[in-house]
Structure 1
Amino acid sequence: MQINAQDSGSENRGIRVSPESNEGIPIRSVIIILHRNEKSLITDSLETEAFYQAFDIRPGSAFKQLVTDMAINTIEKQADIKSADYEVFNSGPGSPVVIVIHVYFLSEGESKKIETKKGMINTKSIKDFPVISETSYSKLAIVLNGGVGLFNENNGLFAKGPEFTQGNSIADDPAVKGVRFWGESYAELGLAGIWQLGSSNFYAYGSASGLLSARNTSDIYSNGTTIFFDAERMYAGLLGARLGKNKNINIDASFGRQSFQLNDGFLISKFSGSSNAGDRGNVYLNSRTAFQKTAILRTQFGSLNIDGFFLEPEELFKDKQTNTNYAGGTLAYNDNKTIDAGISYITVPSGSSMYSTPQGKISKKGMYVINPKLWLEDIGGTGLFLKSEYAYQSNRNANMKSNAYYLGIGLQKSKWFLKPSLYYRYAFMQGDDSTSERYERFDPILTGGLGNWVQGINFRKVTGNGNIIYQRVELKGYLSESFEVSLDYFHLSADTYSNLGGLPPITNLKEKNFGYEITFQSRYYINNNFLFLGIISYAKPGNAITKAFDEGVYNWTSYQAALFMFF
């Protein structure tokens, strides 16, 4: 019997993706498939727990390719196992990943072959690229990532670029009526490694890389060509795996320049870790994702996860740093079947960022968020799923209280032709009541992620995320295990007429309807190392935007095509 990884289990796993492209993304679930005597079986809960005791890949942790590779090596050391490998799946860019592990047992009478050393140095073969050296206890590899994209905006920023970008120092040539066409590219080169410390269950790991980005002409905001180089990754970590009497405790501590994401990016997205606009020349490719500073501690006790984090995003201008940072923690439970629940706390301990209010400016320092989450997969075996989060926001140093939440419900049919899914989400981010002394506009912190919290790739550049109500309908299908297509409809409206904190033309709204956007997206992984991403998005402004101007507001269409490389 042969099991296709995408069909393993009753839920739709999404498409098979490059492991390197999902570094730092949360693990939603882990599936283990045993291949024994020409049969392939998904492990039951007892077998899965036994394998958990042999290695350290559990739902709720963050995906790290080197750590997962070392866990696979641990599996392969077992006497009755011939080999093991894994695949990574997700249902959208930046969405939590599903790890599918394949374990192949020796046949009766078959002897075990042990490869003690791999990699280009040991085998003298370029076929082992990007692995430099690999043993049962260590791995050193080259990091080589890149991308090139072509972008065409017709009536970008609704043909009102100069008005919408007032006060924006990077917007020296914003889009107006007509076509704006440009290209972007980047290349990242570095090293990554992991080493077992003696015969212990502790591993040291780290990575360092530099990233070169470029733009060939004016983009939607900025004028002319540019090329920019800076450090990207620069982190180190210590992993303690399979600890405790029951071998079900994992501890992972890391610090430096690295990626981080909370859930699916509702409050903190991997893609908000660094700025990419202006002189960096990758406003659409979004090549840089590493936070400028991080300190992350992840602890797992079976199905329970306790995490702590400190984050400081990479800001655009080194001479205009606000040094705003975020600290917090998460308590979460994931049963690897249906329930993924948790609660997070996030606060701003320092920084000079400010909020604009009708009464003047207040400091972002002291702001905090309490954020419970409940996700349910394949409810009752029907294919129904539910995703919801709530965020209560306040400030210890100011009169500020706000709320945000979303509720999404969908249906996945992985046994049907094209494995279709239908999803509806209602999302609310509170606006400010200008008649109240209390500041009530919700700050979405570091939200983002294409397909998750970039709610309309065109409207996002105009409306932002505070004082907004989203309704989203998504239809998605899979042409193959590596080819996904989706069609999204977004309707956007304001919560309140007072929109201070939004862009200049729409700080005081005459109507609440921002408009709607329809987006077609295709993701095709040509192989494990190359991804093609294509997008067409059409946005029609509503009266909240058109009535902010006397005339000259036009519908906005975006065409995007990009090819990414991951090694």
Structure 2
Amino acid sequence: MNAVRGSTSAGERGGLYLGPRLTNDFSVLAQGAYDRWNYSAFFIDPNEVESLESDTTFLGANLRYNFTDKFSADTTLITIPNSKTQFSTPSGRLIPREGLNTVSGHLKWTSAFEMPGLWLEGELAHQFHPGEDVSAWAYYGTVGYLMKEIGWTPSLSYRYAYFSGDDPNSSRYERFDPLLSTGLGIWLQGVSFGKITTNSNLETHRVQFNVAPDERLNLTFDYYLLRTPQLNNLGSNPALSTLSSHDLGQELSLSARWSATKSLYLQALVSHAIPGTALRDIGADRNWTTFQVSLYGGF
């Protein structure tokens, strides 16, 4: 079991790309395994911007069963025991985040159908609130192929992901809460679009191609097509609270990760975003490019 008190760097808002908000004010993690079972439990008090502190905490557990070394299934339960945050609705009703529950089921199958290199993965999540009429859904499915037998071990994958939005014609609140989801190449759905949208009211198609020229260097290309299930987008960027179109846009990115030494790690990326109809209709009609280089040192 680990208990950790985290820290930040460069002041309240400084060091954004150093990931200061990935640390926690306090966290506890307990893990164990027995036979084919793996289990974990955790408590997280995230490190929020002090001026926007919501006192939100997360309590959860995960249970996984390994049917074989290539096929596993797991389930996760996460609850929010404390939060000052409230969700807004078109009717003006406020729904407390405190008490929200998320339950999910996840499957992963490598060497699927006895084809070495083929992998399938998927997850379904449901959110509900015992004191409110809340029902939100999210799911994804991935199919990929890793070619270990040739140089640079290239891999190609496709992922479809869906996070429900709130239907203004329904009294039920249906916007999915992304909790703490992030991660470049994982659930940060485009380094540029990730600055204006979250994993709520979002539908994405992602194609990812990856090569490893050597064991220290990894190159990844990602293509994203982003759409919104609902035109009501209250709870997102205020400029995008009501959309004229389901078409958010597209993004192409290339990233490199290089372990220069045991203590130096270099990450570089370039990303090109193409606004869709929803953005062009509010005046954001120009393509934009992001370039970033980060050097990390450890000791």
TM bucket (normalised to shorter chain) is over 0.9
Kindly provide the amino acid, as one letter, of the partner of residue 459 in structure 1: F
Within 5 Å, give how 1:58-457 maps onto structure 2.
253-257=1-5, 279-287=12-20, 289-317=22-50, 320-334=52-66, 337-359=69-91, 360-379=93-112, 380-457=114-191
Contact 1:310 1:328 in 2 (8 A): yes
What amino acid is aligned across from residue 480 of structure 1 in structure 2?
D
Superposed, which structure 2 residues align to 1:30-49 within 5 Å?
Answer: none
Query: What is the match of residue 533 of structure 1?
Result: 267
Q: Is the 8 A contact 1:305 1:332 kept in 2?
A: yes
Code of the residue aligned with 2:2 in structure 1: it is S
The alpha carbon displacement at 1:336 in A equals 6.9
Tell me: CA distance 1:281–1:478, structure 2 relative to 1, closer, same or farther (3 Å): same
CA distance in 1, matches of 2:178, 2:130: 18
Aligned equivalents of 1:333, 1:529: Cα separation in 2 = 35
> Is the CA contact (8 Å cut-off) linking 2:110 and 2:117 kept in structure 1?
yes
Compare CA radii of gyration and give the structure with the larger one. 1
Per-residue CA distance 1:512-531 (angstroms, 9 max, x = gap): 00000000011111122211
What is the CA-CA distance between 1:466 and the residue it aligns to? 0.5
Determine the structure 2 residue equivalent to 1:234. Answer: none
Deviations 1:498-556 (A, max 9, x none): 1111111211111100000000011111122211111000000000111123xx63111
Matched with 2:204 is: 470
2:144 alignment partner, SS class: strand
| 1:430 Cα deviation from its structure 2 partner | 0.4
**What one-letter code is carried by the residue in structure 1 that aligns with 2:232?**
S
Output one character per residue of 1:252-297: Cα deviation in whole Å (capped at 9) or x when no partner. x222325xxxxxxxxxxxxxxx877974311122145332122222
Displacement of 1:334 in angstroms is 3.3
Which residue number in structure 1 is paired with residue 292 of structure 2?
560
Residue equivalent to 1:116: none
Runs of 4+ in 1 over 6 A off after TM superposition: 274-278
* Matched-pair contact (CA < 8 Å) for 1:277–1:316: no
Matched with 1:480 is 214
Task: Give unmatched runs, 5+ long, in structure 2.
Answer: none
* Cα distance in structure 1, aligned partners of 2:108 and 2:263: 31
Pair 1:514-2:248 in alignment = yes
Secondary structure of 1:545 counterpart: helix
Number of residue pairs matched by the alignment: 297
Aligned partners of 2:165 and 2:232 also within 8 Å? yes
Distance 1:488 1:277 in 2: 31
- How far the C-alpha of 1:347 sits from its partner, in A, is 0.6
* TM-superposed deviation, 1:302: 2.4
- Normalised to the residue count of structure 1, the TM-score between the two structures is 0.51
Whose RCO is larger (CA < 8 A, sep 6+)?
1
Amino acid at match of 2:117: G
SS in 2 for 1:460: helix
Judge conservation of contact 1:275–1:315 (CA < 8 Å) in 2.
no
SS class of match (1:544): helix
SS at match of 1:508: coil
**Structure 2 CA distance for aligned equivalents of residues 286 and 392 of structure 1:** 28
Task: Return the alpha-carbon distance in structure 2 between the equivalents of residues 327 and 435 of structure 1.
Answer: 32
Give the equivalent residue in structure 1 for 2:232.
498
Q: Compared with structure 1, are the counterparts of its residues 295 and 453 closer, same or farther at alpha carbon in structure 2 (3 Å cutoff)?
A: same
On the 8 A contact 1:331/1:342 being kept in 2, the answer is: yes
State the shift of 1:479 in Å.
0.8
Structure-2 change in CA distance of 1:453 and 1:276 (3 Å): farther
User: What stretches of structure 1 of length at least 5 have no aligned partner?
Assistant: 1-252, 259-273
